[in-house]
Structure 1
Amino acid sequence: MTTLDPSAVRRRFPALVAQPEVVHTCAPGGTQILDTALDAMRDAAVQANANQGGAFPASARVGALCDRAKDRFGQLLGSEPEGIVFGPNMTTLAFHLSHALDERLATGGQIACTRLDHDANVAPWLDLAERTGATVRWIDVTADGRLDLDTLADAVTPRTRLLTFPLASNALGTVVDPAPLVAAAREAGALTVMDAVHGAPHLPVDRRAMGVDVVFCSPYKFFGPHAGVMAADPELLASLTPDKVRPSPDTGPERWQTGTASFEAIAGATAAADYLLDEATLDRIGAHEHALAERFLTGLDERPDWTLHGPASAEGRTPTFAVTHRTVDPQRVAQVMAEHHVNVYAGHYYAVEPMRRLGLLDAGGAVRIGFVHYHGPADVDLVLAALDAVG
């Protein structure tokens, strides 16, 4: 395994080349787009500006583009190509899936959710429970922002029909081990849904090896365009009835894609998947990001006015950090940091449950600082300097 050279990596991202003075630590909300992803989107718009099913070359190219996309995302996510579904974003896909699960929950079963999740992996299941009369039980979070597995036994019972959880917290960076959750779900005969949106830029995802029924991710979080991907057990998808128009296919993943897909986005997303599979690779990314996390945590520990919310070690986390200042409001912190060319978000970032659990929801949330592999040690130091500028 060779190390990553941040300067070489940055040259692959036109937005970073165009704005060399800016530190984009807003990455958990969306990364910058890779050069080959941008090229693929343009090529698709020029050479494959058509729909599928036509007898002409552009339509054939669209079909080939989609077939390759399913194959590459199958490799990236450890799932069969026949279970890869594309959509506008993870949230839309999750709501779409939830509607297809009404019949399974109609007998008043139970749904287990975690208080570590982004709301895209909570709200669809709360709506499902409301429609079907199901009961929602919660897997809690500890004071240091990890799943409290002591609450798992109460949350998952023989009546549980669905268990949902994140691979990693988009707010706190906490990495979740799927194994105990999947084991509990299997014992109950429940389906499992994993939100890998935050985890996918940092961690390997293997749906089949993890034993998970459905995985969601969003390519715009790993250097591609705005889009969503659902990787599911093909047999599960075949057993469900999604909302669709009558002419849509009755079999295969396309029956889950409502309306015409954004083929440009699929092309760009596939180029991002190629990059993670063939070039940067997640093992090299992980080693590089671990060093960034250690450097940031060491620096933050030297600044007593700042509080870290979430795991205090670089182990078991992504390089995403929720921090608050002793006296300065998170929105003001974000503004000062922007004035120093460091981009961050402040608030709850749709992670309502973890922010409520940690007592931050009604206090303005926190400032989220997120590194990815195109950052280097100098970027960490610039972020720490911006924290010092807050006061």
Structure 2
Amino acid sequence: MSTLTDEEPGKDAVVTGDQAPAGEVDSARADSSGGESGAGGAGGLWPALGSRSLDRELAKPLPQQFPGWRAGSHRFDGPGGTLVHAAVRDVMASYLGGPDVANDHGAFPASHESDAIVAGTCRRLRALFGARDGCFVFGQGMTTLTTTFVRSLTSTLGARDELVITELDHEADRAPWQALAAARGLTVREAPMSPSGLLPAEAVLDRISARTKWVAVTAASNALGTVPDLAAIIKGAHRAGARVFVDAVQAVAHQCIDIAALGCDAFVTAAYKWYGPHCGVLWISDEIADGAHLPEQVPSAGTLPPGQLSLGTTNFEAVLGTGVAAELLTRWDRDGIAVAEQQLTAQLLAGLDTIPEVRVLGPGPSPVRSPVVTFQIRGLPAERAAALLGQRGISVWHGTFYAGSAMRAVSRDNPEAVRAGIAAYTTQADVQILVDAVAALAAGRWESP
């Protein structure tokens, strides 16, 4: 969010994100373009450097499109944050090294470039997510934006109202709702998972009543790879008069998301999980945005969305990089990459299945599963296993992945595990090296390099 300065006494609302002045807010929500400057500055990075960098990088084999990729390094840590695409790096570096670094909504050219960055990114996000209306809010990450959004609903909920969360979800899509319920005297109902790590739509719908106001659900589990039937959950929730908040942080890199087709009411993600920078993205429908209100927001932010929910000055370089990452996903062969990721996931699951000491947690091979594989090695703590694999250049995560309820649901007595994620830059050789290393660990044949 931009804040007003003493030199701007005539304005009573700040235009933030893809918001237009008060008289133009409807058209801004529908289009969000705001124009893109071709003056040779940051706005010009879109048609100029952005396109050139993408064209150049997309001609390379996928792993080579990532400057952080190294031969001999096997990166399975994508569920916690992927490598950054070269085009994202190039555009952000060019902006920060150029003459147009400035705050937005000023009357001078460099400030116009900042406006163009935000508008251009909003337009690319609309194309990527099929968001024909509503508004976007940018922030530090999913946790920050979810907490801010939930806080903005406080005045719309009363003591007889109910909320539904799920056992599958990340803590950041559970704790803010639970805190809101505690503060307002609401009832929270939790949808349980199956022992195999699935979240049947019926488990969520059974928790919805006529008093339910919001359902918070993930589009893909960051811990287990489980993909719920969002369409069925959203349809059932709306039938009961409830709204749906979707955590799509883990889904965007691996699934094509269509907000208009899903019909959700709010949607959050973070670009660093899909080859971009650390930047959170929150989409809110027009109806919900109009009722959202942060009592702590500064008066100069105005009362219109998304400015009402935007806290602090916009991180323009991160927003610019997010727009390039969104453009990247629209230009990749997403279907082809999804098939390749499914095949690599099946290869990993099949390989781990041949190791008697390994227990895989969560769903088995499936076309409706995210490429996240979580497992335990009998007799070897997860942290130790991850450290030993790291000695051989294999990057995996260990722990409960901020999804303790999900991990306890599938392994109550020992919820900690090792997590490996497949990304666009993962190869068959990477997967085989991981399987061989896990087999050596399990069999006690480990030799440190």
TM-score, normalised by the number of residues in structure 1: 0.94
What secondary structure sits across from 1:250 in the alignment? coil
Q: Give the drift of 1:81.
A: 6.2
The alignment status of 1:258 with 2:311, answered yes or no, reads: yes
Cα distance in 1 for residues equivalent to 2:401 and 2:198: 18
Question: Equivalent residues in 2 for 1:56-205 (5 A)?
Answer: 56-80=108-132, 82-205=134-257
Cα distance in 1 for residues equivalent to 2:428 and 2:206: 44
Specify the alignment match of 2:72 in structure 1.
21
Partner letter of residue 157 of structure 1?
A: S
Specify the alignment match of 2:426 in structure 1.
375
Identify which of 436, 441, 444 aligns with 1:385: 436
Question: Is the alpha carbon distance of 1:177 and 1:364 closer, same or farther for their aligned partners in structure 2, counting shifts above 3 Å?
Answer: closer
**Equivalent pair of 1:6/1:373 in contact (CA under 8 Å):** no
**Equivalent pair of 1:14/1:33 in contact (CA under 8 Å):** yes
Cα distance in 1 for residues equivalent to 2:391 and 2:440: 10
Cα distance in 2 for residues equivalent to 1:11 and 1:374: 8
State the Cα deviation string for residues 55-106 of structure 1 (Å, max 9, x = none).
Answer: 2211110001100111111111221465111111000001101111112222
Specify the alignment match of 2:326 in structure 1.
273
Question: Is the alpha carbon distance of 1:380 and 1:159 closer, same or farther for their aligned partners in structure 2, counting shifts above 3 Å?
Answer: same
Q: Give the drift of 1:253.
A: 1.9
State the Cα deviation string for residues 16-74 of structure 1 (Å, max 9, x = none).
Answer: 0xx32111101100000001111121122224311111122111100011001111111
47-56 or 218-227, which moves further after superposition? 47-56
Q: Give the drift of 1:142.
A: 0.5
**Equivalent pair of 1:175/1:318 in contact (CA under 8 Å):** yes
**Equivalent pair of 2:408/2:415 in contact (CA under 8 Å):** no
State the Cα deviation string for residues 316-347 of structure 1 (Å, max 9, x = none).
Answer: 21111110012111111101110111001100
**Equivalent pair of 2:267/2:282 in contact (CA under 8 Å):** yes
What secondary structure sits across from 1:373 in the alignment? coil
Q: Give the drift of 1:266.
A: 0.4
TM-score, normalised by the number of residues in structure 2: 0.82
What secondary structure sits across from 2:61 in the alignment? helix
Q: Give the drift of 1:6.
A: 12
State the Cα deviation string for residues 152-187 of structure 1 (Å, max 9, x = none).
Answer: 343111110100100000000011111221122112
Q: Give the drift of 1:211.
A: 1.1
Partner letter of residue 421 of structure 2?
A: G
Specify the alignment match of 2:268 in structure 1.
216
Q: Give the drift of 1:240.
A: 1.7
Identify which of 345, 357, 367 aligns with 2:409: 357
Partner letter of residue 250 of structure 2?
A: H
**Equivalent pair of 2:386/2:397 in contact (CA under 8 Å):** yes
**Equivalent pair of 2:161/2:213 in contact (CA under 8 Å):** yes
**Equivalent pair of 1:6/1:374 in contact (CA under 8 Å):** no
What secondary structure sits across from 1:271 in the alignment? helix
State the Cα deviation string for residues 97-122 of structure 1 (Å, max 9, x = none).
Answer: 11111122223311001111011111
Identify which of 320, 324, 343 aligns with 2:395: 343
**Equivalent pair of 2:163/2:213 in contact (CA under 8 Å):** yes
**Equivalent pair of 1:76/1:277 in contact (CA under 8 Å):** yes
Specify the alignment match of 1:31 in structure 2.
82
Cα distance in 2 for residues equivalent to 1:281 and 1:226: 24
Cα distance in 2 for residues equivalent to 1:48 and 1:133: 49
Q: Give the drift of 1:252.
A: 3.4
Cα distance in 1 for residues equivalent to 2:288 and 2:134: 11
Question: Is the alpha carbon distance of 1:81 and 1:87 closer, same or farther for their aligned partners in structure 2, counting shifts above 3 Å?
Answer: farther
Cα distance in 1 for residues equivalent to 2:152 and 2:280: 18
Unaligned runs of 5+ in 2: 1-57, 443-449
Cα distance in 2 for residues equivalent to 1:39 and 1:93: 27
Cα distance in 2 for residues equivalent to 1:337 and 1:275: 31
Partner letter of residue 83 of structure 2?
A: Q
**Equivalent pair of 1:70/1:81 in contact (CA under 8 Å):** no
User: Which aligned segments of 4 or more residues in structure 1 are displaced greater than 3 angstroms?
Assistant: none
Specify the alignment match of 2:33 in structure 1.
none
Identify which of 300, 303, 316 aligns with 1:247: 300
Cα distance in 2 for residues equivalent to 1:7 and 1:60: 34
Question: Is the alpha carbon distance of 1:67 and 1:92 closer, same or farther for their aligned partners in structure 2, counting shifts above 3 Å?
Answer: same
**Equivalent pair of 2:205/2:237 in contact (CA under 8 Å):** no
Specify the alignment match of 2:345 in structure 1.
293
90-99 or 381-390, which moves further after superposition? 381-390
The alignment status of 1:42 with 2:93, answered yes or no, reads: yes
**Equivalent pair of 1:170/1:198 in contact (CA under 8 Å):** yes
Mark the structure with the bigger radius of gyration.
2
Question: Is the alpha carbon distance of 1:349 and 1:260 closer, same or farther for their aligned partners in structure 2, counting shifts above 3 Å?
Answer: same
Cα distance in 2 for residues equivalent to 1:236 and 1:150: 26
**Equivalent pair of 1:110/1:137 in contact (CA under 8 Å):** yes
Cα distance in 2 for residues equivalent to 1:9 and 1:40: 19
Cα distance in 2 for residues equivalent to 1:157 and 1:142: 21
Cα distance in 2 for residues equivalent to 1:249 and 1:284: 45
